Structure 1
Amino acid sequence: MAACLALLGCDRSSSVEAKFENYLERLANVQEKDAMEVAISPPEYPRKRDLFQQPSRQTVGLVDALQLSKCHLMELVAQRNTVLGKVQDQFRSLEYEVALLIGLKSCLATNELNAELNQDLQRIYAVKWQELPLHITNTLYSSDVLYANAFSTNWYTEETNQGLYSLQSALQALSTLHALYLKEELPEYFDILSYQEEIEKYDQLGRISYSLQSATVYLHASTQQLKQHDSVIFCGKNRDTTKYRRLKNVFQKYYVGEIQPYLADLNSAYHTLSPHIDILYTVNLDKQYHHPVQSAYTEYKQATINHAQYWMSLFKRCGDQVGQSR
């Protein structure tokens, strides 16, 4: 970092992590104690192949597809049966599965099919319907698009939130589809491909998750630093309150002035997605592979509460109104 400052002239405070480090170091300096050691463990990412669930090979043949022309499914199935169609990404695959189910349901409702084809399509519809949650899971966890978006070792910042609203829209579309499935219904129309390109460019879900986890580590360390050396902070009559006044200044300038605004941005980003995040945990996937963002947020919220509680107790002990309602 010193080399960065000396040679490149870069601003240490521009780094999110540097703000947390600076805050912790300043707390320790006031206390005249060593700062707590902070270690951010690199996240362990599951392999994409471990997340993929193989659907059945149940297909609609080209001969049958020709008979489905009256239901506007011939082109859909023919495209799927091409070489390119068989290797398409999970986003496109899910759109196909939903479109096929919608078309099959419509066809079967017409009663215009011969008995043999009707029986075949009833069987195919039943299998496809049963496997729809599997395709939703694959889209969420093993698609190239969302797998790339889901994991990161970079901090979230408001300046790097491109793609956040496309991610929100995709999660909402998948949540709505799953909710309809639970009611044994299908949407009239389903679109998720329109969000694919922008989601694929960024790693917002991963950044948010990594930032929640990392902020939690720093908040825990800062709270521990304050609690462990609370006895060196004096206040009250006939006491040397120099350290208390300096510590209060660190709180105002660095926690309220720098850390809290960042945490507010991080909270906002999480809550942009949170109405639809449950879809990540309603999937047919072993819990060890569930995305960590929800548990990371729970731990982060507790860390912020614990940290705030220390400051409230200190201000109360010193008869200070800072941060207290009147």
Structure 2
Amino acid sequence: MHGALRHCALLLCLGVLLSACGQSSPEAMLDNYSDRVARVLQESIDSRLDAAPAIAPLPPRRQRLLPLTDLRQGLIEVLPLRHCNLLGLIAQRNSSLGKVMLPSKQLVYEMRLLSQVRDCRAQLAQRLNARTDTDAKLIQQLDSIYRLKAQELPAVLWNAIYASREMESNFSIGAPPAAAAPG
């Protein structure tokens, strides 16, 4: 009797374990989830994927990019910025790789530039009691750069987020729904 009871219990446990290993399709998982949410909310939910309204595709990246002002200064105008250790950062942006910088990298660059310009301006203001004409021009140049870059920061942020390849792939309507994870 013990052997039969043991076999019965073993078969019952094996049946429970095997039933948990069943593969569900993504559609079945969505239907199950929608039914559970509908019961909790006491609302009907239509989870048919073909019933979704047509979504317009994202416009091409060149139409999503916001234009940015290209700040150009000559070598003579940029040379005083060496006191602020800004020449390396400016050279990075003017390099061949800097000119084709991804929008996300450009956001990082602009944030670093804003921070360094602000810090340099503060250091010059603290250090200089009797400002010379050259120092006043440098502070004015830093203020001008900071004002322009701060004004354009929302556009840089927009380009880094909404005009990036990563965002484009997330909102792409050409890819099928994700498959269920193997379980």
Aligned 8 A contact 1:94 1:136 in 2:
yes
Relative to the length of structure 2, the TM-score reads 0.61
2:82 to 49, 69, 72: 69
- The 1-side partners of 2:163 and 2:49 are apart by 36
Task: State how 1:207-226 maps to structure 2 within 5 Å.
Answer: none
Structure with greater contact order relative to length (CA < 8 Å, sep ≥ 6):
2
The whole-number CA distance in structure 2 between the counterparts of 1:144 and 1:95 is 16
Equivalent position of 2:159 in the other structure: 138
2:55 to 43, 56, 60: 43
Indicate conservation of the 8 Å contact 1:71/1:107, yes or no.
yes
* Aligned equivalent of 1:90, options 90, 95, 103: 103
Q: In the alignment, which residue of structure 2 is the partner of 1:116?
A: 137
In structure 2, the residue corresponding to 1:136 is in which secondary structure? helix
Give the Cα–Cα distance (whole angstroms) in 2 for the partners of residues 63 and 158 of structure 1: 61
> Residue type matched to 2:86 in 1?
L
After TM superposition, the structure 1 stretch with the greater mean CA deviation from structure 2, 98-107 or 111-120, is 111-120
| Deviation at residue 74 of structure 1 after TM alignment | 1.0
Residues 59 and 23 of structure 1, relative CA distance in 2, 3 Å threshold: closer
Check whether the contact 2:118–2:146 (CA below 8 A) recurs between aligned residues.
Answer: yes
TM superposition shift of 1:44: 2.1
Contact map agreement 1:140 1:146 (CA 8 A) in 2: yes
Counterpart residue identity of residue 17, structure 1:
E
Structure 1 alignment gaps of length 5 or more:
1-12, 25-35, 161-326
Q: CA RMSD in A?
A: 3.3
TM-score normalised over the length of structure 1 = 0.36
Contact 1:139 1:146 in 2 (8 A): no
Structure 2 counterpart of 1:125, one-letter code: Y
Task: Please report how far the alpha carbon of residue 23 of structure 1 lies from its aligned counterpart in structure 2 after TM superposition.
Answer: 10
Residue type of the alignment partner of 1:130 = Q
The 3 A distance-change label for structure 1 pair 145 and 134 is same
Give the equivalent residue in structure 1 for 2:8. none
**1:109 aligned partner, one-letter code:** A
Change (3 A) 1:22 1:94: closer
Distance 1:110 1:85 in 2: 28
Q: Contact 2:58 / 2:168 at 8 angstroms: preserved in 1?
A: no
Structure 1 residue ranges, 4+ long, deviating more than 6 angstroms after superposition: 21-24
Return the alpha-carbon distance in structure 2 between the equivalents of residues 104 and 97 of structure 1. Answer: 10
Partners of 1:23 and 1:99 lie apart in 2 by 45
Preserved CA contact (<8 Å) 2:58 2:172: no
Contact 2:117 2:146 in 1 (8 A): yes
Q: Specify every segment of 5 or more residues in structure 2 that has no aligned partner in the other structure, as ranges.
A: 1-22, 35-47, 129-133
Read off the aligned partner of 2:68 and give its amino acid letter: P
Give 1:290's aligned residue: none
Residue 82 (structure 1) shift: 1.9
C-alpha change, 1:16 and 1:120, in structure 2 (3 Å) is same
Give the percent of matched residue pairs that are identical in Structure 1 and Structure 2: 33
Aligned residue number for residue 15 of structure 1:
25
Distance 2:73 2:87 in 1: 10
Give the aligned partner of residue 54 of structure 1: 67
Q: Which residue of 1 aligns with 2:177?
A: 155
The residue type paired with residue 123 of structure 2 is T
Query: How far is the alpha carbon of 1:70 from its aligned partner?
Result: 2.9
2: CA distance between counterparts of 1:148 and 1:37? 20
For 1:151, what is the secondary structure of its paired residue?
Answer: coil
Mark the structure with the bigger radius of gyration. 2
For the pair 1:125 / 2:135, whether they are aligned, the reply is: no
